[in-house]
A and B are shown apart, each in its own frame.
Chain A
Amino acid sequence: MKRRDLLLMGAAAGAALTAARAQVPREIEITAQRFKFTPAEIPLKAGEPVVLLIRSLDFAHGFFVPDLDLRTDLMPGRVTRLALTPKARGQLAFLCDNFCGDGHEGMDGHFDVS
């Protein structure tokens, strides 16, 4: 096999790998614990699909993104997967929407979509 063919094959394999990577959403781990999300400020890119892997440590918290009309319950000890693709730049708020005690009202965060 000629050197030029090897280079072409290498380029094709690289392109396929890039395409495959592009189809796999980036995963973001979030921890929920009374009365905060960690991290609470999460950068995202418009149009980029991501999967949130949210683990609650202590309570059946909720995870609610009002602007996307997206919510789920977070059962303690389990990892809850939530897929989302932000469409537009700006800030998207998220919050716990299952009352969890004295401090619940401040359990929130936001996505910074660039």
Chain B
Amino acid sequence: MQRRDFLQLAGLGGGAIFSASLAGCASAGKPQDEFYFVQLSDTHWGFQGAPNPDARGTLPKAIAAVNALPKPPDFIVFTGDLTHTTDDPAERRRRMAEFKQVVGELKVKTVRFMPGEHDASLDRGAAFREMFGDTHFRFDHQGVHFIALDNVSDRGTTLGPEQLAWMQAELAKLNPEAPLVVLAHRPLFPLVPKWDWHTRDGDQALALLMPHKNVTVFYGHIHQEHHQMTGHIAHHSARSLMFPLPAPGTADKATALPWDPAAPYRGLGWREVAIEGAKAGRIEHGVSNA
């Protein structure tokens, strides 16, 4: 992506653009081409309720918007809670199958799926693995390292010693100067523990990441944008495509905000993440009623 394209996207996106330094990109040993990917999160397919009277129409609207981007993203990530939870294993699989069918409309076919606790906690990720594959994985793209963590398949919302050992081994293979993008569903830091907005052993994951100089975490779970640093590590949560939740710690409970007929889809959205040389840019998109 050229700089002018990046700025043009910002203008079209209807959202704010922020740039954060990914200093170290140039020293990763291999110059990167510019690229961008799309993050969608917390689609909660199967949810029914007053917080979103267009529960079956919101995700298709976002997909249409992604398909209409002037230049397609290199890939798309879904950071968990693809489906809304159910006690019925057959219904869980039915929701996942329907979700796959809906997102099959995406023109970009490189799509990486991650679980949220609504997808994976009750059966420890069994249905998710059947339908989507591994719950944690690593890949590289254009000289940028990506690691996707699963902090939901354990009901206690831990990464667990086995995954932490895998993470440590994977990170040991990487140049600590190289840009590293971490994907997760839940925040790795204790954002609001009284709302269960944390990862019980997230501190261990963050300790493993600390030697890496250029780390950015993209996650979901909290159904809104939130941006925080822990040391030199930047954390950015994404909006949901089903219902928004209150700002961190501002209510007794983290219950869905009501649908506003005067401003439908308010608080819902998705984002582009552009990596351009030594910078990462975010372009936040709302959901349009069109």
Contacts and interface: CB of A to CB of B under 8 A. Distances in A.
Interface of A: 60, 62, 64, 66-67, 73, 93, 95, 97-102, 104-106, 108
Given A101-B87, A108-B253, A95 B122 contact: no
Interface stretch (B64-72, B151-159, B231-239): B151-159
Contacts of A100: 155
Interface stretch (B160-168, B192-200, B201-209, B273-281): B192-200
Secondary structure at chain A's binding surface: helix, strand, loop or mixed?
Answer: mixed
Contacts of A95: 194-196
Interface of B: 84-87, 117, 121-122, 152, 155-157, 193-196, 200, 253-255
Nearest to B192: A66
A91 to B, nearest CB: 10
B266 to A, nearest CB: 21
Nearest to B85: A102
Contacts of B157: 97-99
B253 A97 contact: no
B255 A66 contact: no
A60 B157 CA distance: 13
Nearest to B190: A66
6 contacts: A73-B156, A97-B196, A98-B155, A101-B85, A105-B195, A108-B253
A57 to B, nearest CB: 16
